[in-house]
Amino acid sequence: MLEVKDLHVTVEGSEILKGLSLTVNAGEVHAIMGPNGAGKSTLSAVIAGKDGYEVTSGSITFEGRDVLEMEIEERAQAGLLLGFQYPVEIPGVKNIYLLKAALNAQRVARGEGEIPAPEFMKLVKEKINFMKMDSSFLQRAVNEGFSGGEKKRNEILQMLVLQPKLAMLDEIDSGLDIDAMKVVAQGVNSLRDPERGILIVTHYQRLLDHVEPDVVHVLVDGRIVKSGDKDLALELESRGYDWLVEESAA
């Protein structure tokens, strides 16, 4: 469903992605790992459409559509959703309001019409319980005063409510204690579906103990230098990234 071909991206004049190619099919969970500064977060940001990233060559297609030609919100409406590493605070805007606005914007774009309020409340209640979050979260301002773990849970909650076709999770495991990690992993696992692709960007292997990937890619210096199954993640855990960095430099 997602096809990235020979992608070159520069940020403020320096090239971060240097010919990255990647294919994610429906039903697959992909993990992108790599050392700091390899370009992991750049990849998900470019796919989501963040400003300040210049694609100099290459292509991204999603279900046959040229992603780079789409507005940010169109990408989300098409089913591409990014879970943020550092989600921003929006003072005065209730969490539930954002959720509802997002869901309705996506539904309307798909020609489904807005969700009836009782149905929405039922859906949200079910998902928030699943994420072991207190319903008071819904009445708080978006991410305002949330702890790191609460922010991450909230990102997953949005995924569960919005049900994207391709879920991208950027360092969703950073700053989580082990209990929070389990809840987040449980949330991600519940997103697994034959119709859905999942792309996990992570520095550490530990999330992958709980969410088993089908494919693991190692990103070094703007390119995928090695792909394999979940065992590759374990190998990285024990050997680190240096050997791959050296291999790719050679």
Partner 1 sequence: MASQEMEQLVRREYKQGFVTDIESDTMPPGLDENTIAFISHKKGEPEWMLEWRLDAYRQWLKMTSPSWAHLDYPPIDYQAISYYSAPKKPEDRPQSLDEVDPKLLETYEKLGIPLHERAALAGVAVDAVFDSVSVTTTFKEKLSEAGVIFCSISEAIRNYPELVKQYMGTVVPKGDNYFAALNSAVFTDGSFVFVPEGVTCPMELSTYFRINAANTGQFERTLIICEKQAQVSYLEGCTAPMRDENQLHAAVVELVALEDAYIKYSTVQNWYPGDEDGKGGIYNFVTKRGDCRGDRSRISWTQVETGSAITWKYPSCVLRGKDSVGEFYSVAVTNNRQQADTGTKMIHIGENTRSTIVSKGISAGRANQSYRGLVKIGPRAKNARNFTQCDSLLIGDQCGAHTFPYQEIGNSTATVEHEATTSKIGEDQLFYCQSRGISEEDAVNMIVNGFCKDVFQELPMEFAVEAEALLNVTLEGAVG
Strand-pairing partners, residue 166, are 80, 197
For partner 1, the closer of residues 151 and 226 by Cβ is: 151
For partner 1, the closer of residues 138 and 216 by Cβ is: 138
- The token pair that represents 21 in the structure block: 């190619």
Query: Which residues here bind partner 1, judged by CB under 8 A?
Result: 48-51, 71-73, 75-77, 81-82, 84, 87-88, 90-93, 97-98, 101-102, 105-106, 109, 141, 158, 162
| 91-108 per-residue burial string, b: 16 or more CB within 10 A, e: under 16 | eeebbbebbbebbeebee
Helix axes 148-162, 95-109, angle to 10 degrees: 30
DSSP 12: T
Closest C-alpha among 3, 2, 11 to residue 56: 11
For partner 1, the closer of residues 120 and 204 by Cβ is: 120
For partner 1, the closer of residues 155 and 173 by Cβ is: 155
DSSP 204: S
Measured CA to CA in angstroms, residue 44 lies from 5, 81, 112, 228 at distances of: 14, 10, 28, 20
Shortest reach from residue 54's CB to partner 1, in Å: 16
Shortest reach from residue 67's CB to partner 1, in Å: 13
For partner 1, the closer of residues 20 and 161 by Cβ is: 161
Shortest reach from residue 51's CB to partner 1, in Å: 6
Shortest reach from residue 91's CB to partner 1, in Å: 6
Shortest reach from residue 86's CB to partner 1, in Å: 9
